[in-house]
Chains A and B, each alone.
Chain A
Amino acid sequence: METIGNLIPPFDWTSFLFQPWTPPYEQGSLWILVMGFLVAASCGLIGNFIILRRLALVGDAISHTILLGIVLAFLVTRSTGTLPMFVGAVLAGLLTSVIIEFIHKHSRIKPDAAIGITFSTLFAIGVILVACFADQVDLDQECVLYGEIAFIAYEEPLVVAGKALAPLSVVRMGGVFMLILLFISLFYKELQVTAFDAGLARSLGINPTLFHYATMILVSLAIVSGFESVGAILVVAMLIFPGTTAGLLSDRLPVHLLLSVFFALCYALLGLHLATWLNCSIAGAMVVVAGGIFALAWLLSPQKGLIALGMRRFAQAGT
């Protein structure tokens, strides 16, 4: 009889450390690492602001409704190019957050219920459209859910002056990452104050609604350019894990942002190695790593960690 021990490949340090970087894997590994980092860092950075606005679930919602946006964009333009996809995703993201706000404002339905109603409806319409136009839409549902980061190196590359520079999706993700970085560095103080106190922001002449929707647009862009590689569902993990883990270790927003980028690198690198060892989904391995780092931070954080809290309580009880 096979036990669970037989199912897990034997662990070997040298192959764990070096296998991804030995031929013929190294080229693929490099692009997987870059793409994984870009997805996790983009989502993680902008994710900080949706966590602070207590809108973490809106990211979840948008990751689903983007299906509708992409399908509609395809049906209208008949192309799977970057631009129609981005426009469709942004519109779907905006529509999702507008509907959620509208339901919340004009009824007594609580925000979490409003989020649930909105995204499941829009997602369902997307699913129906995919089914109706299945012969025309080339959407691999497996790919939408789990992503296909493993084959990223074999994708169509961006060719500049006859030389293949980088896979197109990596270039796209890099662009979104730069956009998010630029947005946060230009509007840091506006993002901070609108998330902290919308009323105060308004009294300071800063429009919180504007920054809310700008944030939602960037969340949509991060999701749509990341979901092909890590999947629509795991992209949500990348939105929430870096900011939440950073929150356990620091209580300064700039430090949260720096830590988020650092965690993104850890997820991508350790996820790649874990997946090579277990021969499993890289996106899944990245999220397992994210969960592991979160658990470690929660346990060991010097200020807010379970152990530190327990010891403080013990010390208090002793005196």
Chain B
Amino acid sequence: MTKKNAAAPLEIHDLTVTYHRQPVLYGVDLIVDPGCLVGVMGPNGAGKSTLIKTIMGMVPPSHGWVKLFGQPFHKAITRVGYVPQRESVDWDFPVSVFDVVMMGRYKRLGLIRRPGKKDRDAVYECLEKLKMADLADRQIGNLSGGQQQRVFLARALAQESDLYFMDEPFAGVDAATELAIIELLRELKDAGKTLFVVHHDVTTARKYFDTLLLLNMRLVDFGPTEKVFTQQNLHKVYGGRLNILTEVATADAQQASEDKLESP
């Protein structure tokens, strides 16, 4: 294996980001290994989206640096996929489900070149995988929240990247879609891809992710879920928001009783 291949998918060193002179992220250090399914958690305004946008080169850092597979973002661009927040686009835009998924292929195509049959086949395959092939010709505004999120994920698949950044893919989706998404994430992880997923729901975080990153302007903790997901850490990140902690405690109790029922 060459040294280039061995470089970590994501390496962040002493990253500080400021908006209007207010720090949003402060001194973040991080190395993510390949094949990790990372959940990024923190309260509103913790800088989760900013972190992703900085990694993707959309927001310039005021200090520190980011490397993807040992290279700056613009050189690693073909290996990185991005799933923005659902609210970030205009759903009245005159494009079909198929068109939006095809956008995932643009990076491979490069300037000027038009999508060919291979790209169209790849798009249909991705739509099939998310059970959206029937809706390929629909205008994107005529979809439910869950379907819209599936479109974004199908597009991410069509990119065929090695590292994915996803901004709240579970926000506002139905239970069936949530299940479909987590299955897809696990499938990608098993295929050796690295996933970096902003997640809001504390109660499901432990179930979904093998690695957790707790963020509140600073990096609070990062590591295997069982080590990071502690009452103490959550308290540090979410402060005195007791309802969240209570939710976790309730979920804990439920899990415990389920475990008891399952074990003979």
Residues of A within 8 A of B (CB): 52, 186-190, 192-193, 195-197, 199-200, 202-206, 247, 250-253, 255-256
Q: Is B6 an interface residue (CB 8 A)?
A: no
Partner of B90, one of A188, A196, A205, A255: A196
Q: Is the CB of A197 within 8 A of B94?
A: no
Partner of B96, one of A199, A200, A202, A252: A252
Q: Is the CB of A252 within 8 A of B94?
A: yes
Q: Is the CB of A202 within 8 A of B58?
A: yes
Q: Is B191 an interface residue (CB 8 A)?
A: no
25 A–B pairs (Cβ distance < 8 Å), ordered by A = A52-B94, A189-B103, A189-B109, A189-B114, A192-B95, A192-B99, A192-B103, A196-B93, A196-B95, A196-B103, A199-B58, A199-B84, A199-B88, A200-B84, A202-B58, A203-B82, A204-B103, A204-B107, A251-B94, A251-B139, A252-B94, A252-B96, A252-B139, A253-B94, A255-B94
Q: Is the interface of A mostly helix, strand, loop or mixed?
A: helix
CB distance from A282 to the nearest CB of B (A): 31
CB distance from A109 to the nearest CB of B (A): 14
Q: How far is the CA of A251 from the CA of B93 in the complex (A)?
A: 8
Beyond A189-B115, A252-B96, 18 additional contacts (C-beta under 8 Å) are A187-B111, A189-B109, A192-B95, A193-B103, A196-B89, A196-B90, A196-B100, A197-B88, A199-B53, A204-B77, A205-B78, A206-B106, A250-B94, A251-B92, A251-B94, A253-B94, A253-B99, A256-B94
In the complex, the chain A residue whose C-beta lies closest to that of B93 is A196
B residues 64-86 touching A (CB-CB < 8 Å): 74, 77-78, 80-82, 84
CB distance from B139 to the nearest CB of A (A): 4
Q: How far is the CA of A253 from the CA of B78 in the complex (A)?
A: 27
Q: How far is the CA of A272 from the CA of B106 in the complex (A)?
A: 43
Q: Is B34 an interface residue (CB 8 A)?
A: no
Residues of B within 8 A of A (CB): 53, 56-58, 74, 77-78, 80-82, 84, 88-90, 92-96, 99-100, 103, 106-107, 109, 111-112, 114-115, 139, 141
In the complex, the chain B residue whose C-beta lies closest to that of A188 is B114
CB distance from B103 to the nearest CB of A (A): 5
What are the residues of chain B within 8 A of A192 when measuring CB–CB?
A: 95, 99, 103
CB distance from B252 to the nearest CB of A (A): 37
Partner of A200, one of B74, B82, B115: B82
Give the one of A187, A188, A205, A256 with max B CB within 10 A. A205
Q: Is the CB of B94 within 8 A of A200?
A: no
Q: Is the CB of B84 within 8 A of A190?
A: no
In the complex, the chain B residue whose C-beta lies closest to that of A247 is B94
CB distance from B140 to the nearest CB of A (A): 9
Q: Is the CB of A200 within 8 A of B103?
A: yes
Partner of B112, one of A187, A193, A196: A187
Q: How far is the CA of A250 from the CA of B103 in the complex (A)?
A: 20
Q: Is the CB of B107 within 8 A of A205?
A: yes
Q: How far is the CA of A192 from the CA of B88 in the complex (A)?
A: 16
CB distance from A72 to the nearest CB of B (A): 34
Q: How far is the CA of A204 from the CA of B74 in the complex (A)?
A: 9
What are the residues of chain B within 8 A of A202 when measuring CB–CB?
A: 56-58
Q: How far is the CA of A202 from the CA of B52 in the complex (A)?
A: 13
What are the residues of chain A within 8 A of B112 when measuring CB–CB?
A: 186-187
Q: Is the CB of B84 within 8 A of A52?
A: no
Partner of B56, one of A193, A197, A203, A255: A203
Q: Is the CB of B77 within 8 A of A205?
A: yes
Q: Is the CB of A253 within 8 A of B95?
A: yes
In the complex, the chain B residue whose C-beta lies closest to that of A252 is B94
Q: How far is the CA of A205 from the CA of B100 in the complex (A)?
A: 16
What are the residues of chain B within 8 A of A255 when measuring CB–CB?
A: 94
What are the residues of chain B within 8 A of A186 when measuring CB–CB?
A: 112
What are the residues of chain A within 8 A of B109 when measuring CB–CB?
A: 189
CB distance from A193 to the nearest CB of B (A): 5
What are the residues of chain A within 8 A of B77 when measuring CB–CB?
A: 203-205
Q: How far is the CA of A253 from the CA of B111 in the complex (A)?
A: 19
Give the one of A203, A247, A256 with max B CB within 10 A. A203
What are the residues of chain B within 8 A of A200 when measuring CB–CB?
A: 82, 84, 89, 103
CB distance from B81 to the nearest CB of A (A): 8
What are the residues of chain A within 8 A of B96 when measuring CB–CB?
A: 252
What are the residues of chain A within 8 A of B111 when measuring CB–CB?
A: 187, 190
Q: How far is the CA of A197 from the CA of B156 in the complex (A)?
A: 14
Partner of B84, one of A193, A195, A197, A251: A197
Q: How far is the CA of A187 from the CA of B78 in the complex (A)?
A: 20
CB distance from A134 to the nearest CB of B (A): 45
Partner of B141, one of A188, A251, A253: A251
What are the residues of chain A within 8 A of B90 when measuring CB–CB?
A: 196
Q: How far is the CA of A247 from the CA of B106 in the complex (A)?
A: 25
Q: How far is the CA of A192 from the CA of B109 in the complex (A)?
A: 15
Q: How far is the CA of A193 from the CA of B84 in the complex (A)?
A: 13
CB distance from A45 to the nearest CB of B (A): 14
CB distance from A312 to the nearest CB of B (A): 14
CB distance from B193 to the nearest CB of A (A): 16
In the complex, the chain B residue whose C-beta lies closest to that of A204 is B107
Contact (A204, B106) CB under 8 Å given A52-B93, A186-B112, A196-B93? yes
